[in-house]
Structure formats: C-alpha cells, structure tokens
Amino acid sequence: MSDGQQERGVFILGGEGSHRGFWGSKNKSRGWGTVAIIAVGMVFTPAFGWVAIVAAALGVGLLIILTSGTHNGSILERRRRQRRYRAAQRSHADEYIPYDADRAALLTTALSQTRKSKEKADHRARIEWARELAAMRANPDGCDGMGWLQSGRGVPGIAWHGPVGEEPYLSVAFSVSGQLRGMESPENVVRGAEAFGAFLASKAAPSSLLRVVQPLTRVLPADTALQEFWVLNNIDPAAPDWAKASYEEVLIESSRGAMVQRHYVVGRWPLTSRFVQHARKYGAGRDGWRKLMASEIESFRRGLLDSRNAWAEPLTARGTTAVIRHMQNPSRPLDLVRDVRPTNTGERSRGGEYSAHVVEGIDPESGHPVEWWHRTAAIRADHLTVAQRRPLWLLDLLVGRELDVIRTVTFHIELVPATEARHAARRDLVSDMSTEISETAGGKIPLDEGSVRVAAAQRRRNDLAEGSGHHGTNWVGYVTITAESRDQLAQASRELAELCANEVGIQQLEWLDSYQPAASGNTWPIGRGIRPHVPSFGARAMRALAGGGDKEAIA
C-alpha cells in the first residue's frame, strides 16, 4: 500500500501528489488557459493583425506569472483566499451559533416588528439580530450536511453525510487501542505496519463497499482524574497531611508537559447505487441499510483486531458527537456524553480571523467561559521529501518531543482497486518517461523532478504487479493544532512547521487559511476531507458494465 518497497519495513513516500492528465504533471489551469488565450488571439488576428498577437503573448506571460507556484502558493490562489475570506465576513458565514428554534423565532418576530422603525437604537439592534440569524445553523461548517442513520444508545452511531457538491456517504468511528503498547521490538513495529496494510488491501477489492479509511490520533495533556479517584478511595484516612501533599505533588510533576494519545479509525461507505442494491437484500428501506451496515461494521471491527489492535469498539452517536465537541472545546473531557445530543455537534465560534477557527465554549467543570484557537494544515504527497521511511516516521509529530500543544493528526486513505491503480501507474510511467526523453533530446540535462517522477511511477508499477496482493491508494493528511490565545497559536504554528521540516520530512504544510472553521472538520472522526479518486474512462465503463451484481444472488 506504499509507493515502493525497498526492504521489509522500509518504503519510499513523497514526490508526487496526482496522476498525469492531458498536460502531464504540469499546471492544468495554466495549460487550458494558454490554449484559450491563443485561440482568442487567432480569432482576432485577421482583424487587428500584430496587435492581437502581441496581446496574446502578453496574456500568456501574465497567466504564467499568476499561476506560478511558490512556497506561499500562487498569486491566483492568494487572491482567491482573500476573496473567500471577505465574502465570509460580509455574510457572517465564518461565525457559528448552534441553532435554537425559540431564539430564531424571537429574532424573526423582532425583525418583522421593527421593520418600519426609524429609531437609531432599533436600527442597530436589527443589524445585530440579522447577524445572529445569519450565523445560526444546525451544524458547524466542519460537519455541514451531517445527520444520523442510527443514533440510539448502546448501538454503533452511523453518521449520514450529504455535503454540498459531494457524493453522500455513511461513516462510523471506532475507538482503538493502537498497535503499540509499551516497549515493542522493531520486528513488532514492522509486523503491525504489514498487518494494517493487509487490512487495507482486504477492503480495497472492487467488491468492497468501504472506500475510505481514516486513522486519527488525538494528542492531549495527560489527565490525572483516574489517579486522583484512586487516591480518594484508597488513601489511609490517618495518613499525615504532608504525605497527601507529597502524592499530589507527584501527580502534578509527572503530568507536567506529558502528552497522551487517543486513537480512532473511521470507515466511510459511499451511498452509491451498488450500496442501495446490496441493502435491498437485507430488507426494505432504511432498515435494510442498517442491517447491511451492521454486517460492514462487524467486518471492519474484525479487520482492526486482525491488524494488531488489542481492542476496537464502534462509538455510539453520542460518543462520536462528544469527540467532535471536545475537539472544538478541549475543556470538555473527551468521553463526556451526559449532556450530549447527537444532533448538537457544534460549539459557538466567532469570525473575523483569517488563519484560525476561534471557539467560545464553556468549561463544564467550572462553568466559566473559555476560548480556544484552532488552525489546520494539509499534508500532501508532493510536499514530502522523497526518502526512505519506516513505519514510525511520524513519531516526532505524534509523541510531542518538541511540541507540547494539543493537536490532532489524521490521514484519509481512499482505497483504489488494483486494476485501476495498475492502469494509472502504467499511464503515469509512460507519460513521465516520454517527458524525460523529450527533455534529454539534443543533449539537454533533465530536471531532477522529472527523474523523481519516473522513479516513483516505476516503484508503483512494480508494487502493483500482478499477484503482489497490493492495491492503490489516494491519500491526504491533516494536522490541527489548538491553543488558548492568538500568540500561542502563532508560536505553535512556527514550531509545528519547523518540526515537520527538520524531523518528519514534510517540506511544506499547506495552511488552509480563509476557511479554517470548515477545515477543522477534516480532523474530526467523520471521514471528511479527501477529494475522491477520479477513475479513467475505461474504469468507469467497467464499473457501469459490472453494475451492482445479480439481483437474484443471495449476497
């Protein structure tokens, strides 16, 4: 399931982030824009002569300048982010207030009653009421369009997603132990990585309904509540005060700067016609969907256990919502579900920040208001240093040896059947080799990036050889950092970028500024944040011919 195996437990990752298209690996917007400018120039050349030719040449030059990528993105991308940010500010879309039917009715009535009033106080109040109504929504931006297929107590929570412009899907979050517990030998680490790869390969077959797997790790300060509870129930009442104070000091010192990890794995099932047809074999309507998902959930759980997790349990709808609420407001304990409703997934957030998602919540223990600042960045394959990596290549990012902020690290892995991945790898290899040959014609020295692309395509083709048991993947990673103030968040952003560049081999973090409230949802346990793999025309034709299977078949 990697770009290339060099030896057992070592793989090469990075260097390419997409398949080749008509324009190879070059900027597609620039390619099609150049064609459009030249076509327009040809149309006007008979009428304006050399003026049209010069204008077309200047237009192509300007397009190259606007679309040239830098470490801060292209000029066109920066302008697009700024327009998005200003539009969100004007419409108050960057704010979020949990929907309250009574409050919404009251505001609507107040607006209608003061519609013709000319009082300045009423005018100012109307502006505030309209702003609050605009910010009031059922779900925060990070999980817009999310509901529940199954949300009862004591049963796995099955989230139903219908985000705008995307294919609807179902997701289920599992709480897992993690593969490594205590001191583990290098052999066990390698076996764990191989077991997880085998689990992914078993779910990548064309017959599988599961398409995306999202491993997620939440890194947060150590909680001494269990130890304190043990002390309250086991300490000798006759113990001197200095002994009690000494134990309290031990707890404080041992937890200072310490970070713990909580692990989750999320499955995503697209609601395609094949899914609906399979569900009909289990029952009519939504009952059939739930019965089919019960079978899928159990299969997913067995796969997680086989991949060397000591335990794997699906979260209920309330449990999933509690995790989402905690990720917005870390003052809430991760497992606090007593005041949670599955339909109430959001914490109030304010707008006005270009590079942060600012949540205004309540500490459930003290009842005092708190404020948390979040910032999310994407980790893409073409921003990774091309190098040999071992299964623990992300350890510095997860353990927090040099980073002591609350954070969430997740990867979305879309499973691509071997036949489609093999065809794409072969096509990419031919495209990259032809490009390299054209660059070396006439004695030219090819660019290093061309050789890297050829080597990567060759590794993928070798990995996907017939009988290897490997399948393809389309993946993207995200990391969200959390702090209590703007200054702390800025400092954590610099520390994270430095850690990734120096220790992890991530040359660039793509900060998702101008839409940080929505970007936060990419690290929530809901399977959201990956652009699906676009199969070739031949692959789409084969899928259409395959259909959903025989309707008369038992399964």
- pLDDT tens sequence across 131-188: 889 899 999 999 999 999 999 999 999 999 999 888 999 999 999 998 887 777 888 8
> Which has the higher per-residue pLDDT, 472 or 212?
212
List CB contacts of 160: < 8 A, sequence separation 6 or more.
146, 147, 148, 149, 168, 170
What's the rounded Cα separation, in Å, for the pair 193 and 85? 41
Q: What is the pLDDT of residue 160?
A: 97
For residue 12, pLDDT beyond 60: yes
What's the rounded Cα separation, in Å, for the pair 19 and 16? 8
Which residues form the domain of 182?
Answer: 138-222+257-417+471-546
Q: Is 11 helix (H, G, I), strand (E, B) or coil?
A: strand
49 and 427 in contact (C-beta within 8 Å)?
Answer: no
54 and 66 in contact (C-beta within 8 Å)?
Answer: no
Position 73 in a domain: no
Q: What is the pLDDT of residue 1?
A: 40
- Our count of domains for the chain comes to 1
- Would you state the structure tokens that stand for residue 79, as one six-digit string? 């302008």
Position 491 in a domain: yes
What's the rounded Cα separation, in Å, for the pair 501 and 481? 16
Position 454 in a domain: no
60 and 38 in contact (C-beta within 8 Å)?
Answer: yes
For residue 442, pLDDT beyond 90: no
For the stretch 312-344, pLDDT in tens is 999 999 999 999 999 999 999 888 898 899 999
Query: Angle at CA 493, nearest 5°, toward 489 and 499?
Result: 140
Position 102 in a domain: no
Position 90 in a domain: no
Between 60-69, 203-212, 248-257, 304-313, the lowest mean confidence (pLDDT) is in 248-257
Confidence of residue 4 (pLDDT cuts 50, 70, 90): very low
Q: What is the pLDDT of residue 340?
A: 92
Query: Between helices 448-463 and 418-440, what is the axis angle to 10°?
Result: 150
> Which has the higher per-residue pLDDT, 356 or 225?
356
pTM of the model: 0.84
Amino acid type, 304: L
Position 315 in a domain: yes
Q: Which residues pair with 215 in a beta bridge?
A: 265
Position 27 in a domain: no
For residue 264, pLDDT beyond 80: yes
What's the rounded Cα separation, in Å, for the pair 421 and 258? 42
Question: Which of 140, 136, 144 is closest to 104 using CA atoms?
Answer: 136
What's the rounded Cα separation, in Å, for the pair 49 and 46? 6
Confidence of residue 45 (pLDDT cuts 50, 70, 90): confident
For residue 24, pLDDT beyond 60: no
List CB contacts of 10: < 8 A, sequence separation 6 or more.
388, 389, 390
Position 329 in a domain: yes
Per cent of the chain over pLDDT 70 is: 80
